[in-house]
Amino acid sequence: MMDILMYLFETYIHSDAELMVDQDELSEELLRAGFHQEDIYKALNWLEKLAALQDTDHTPYMNTSAVTSIRVYTQDEMNRLDVTCRGFLTYLEQIHVLSSDTREMVIDRVMELETTEFILDDLKWIILMVLFNAPGNESAYSQMEELLYGAEDGYLH
Pick the range with the lowest mean pLDDT from 107-111, 113-117, 152-156. Answer: 152-156
CA 69 to chain centre: 22
Where does 81-152 have alpha helices with state H?
A: 83-94, 100-111, 120-133, 138-149
- Determine contact, residues 56/63, Cβ cutoff 8 Å: yes
Residue 18's pLDDT is 54
What average pLDDT does range 53-64 have in this prediction? 57
How far is it, in rounded angstroms, from Cα 18 to Cα 96? 30
- Cα distance between residue 69 and residue 71, in whole Å: 7
Backbone angles phi, psi at 135, to 5 degrees: -55, 145
pLDDT tens readout for residues 66-112:
666 788 999 999 999 999 999 999 999 999 999 999 999 999 999 99
Q: What is the pTM of this model?
A: 0.79
- 52 with 58: CB under 8 angstroms? yes
Res 55: pLDDT = 64
Between 70 and 62, the more confident residue is 70
Amino acid found at 153:
D
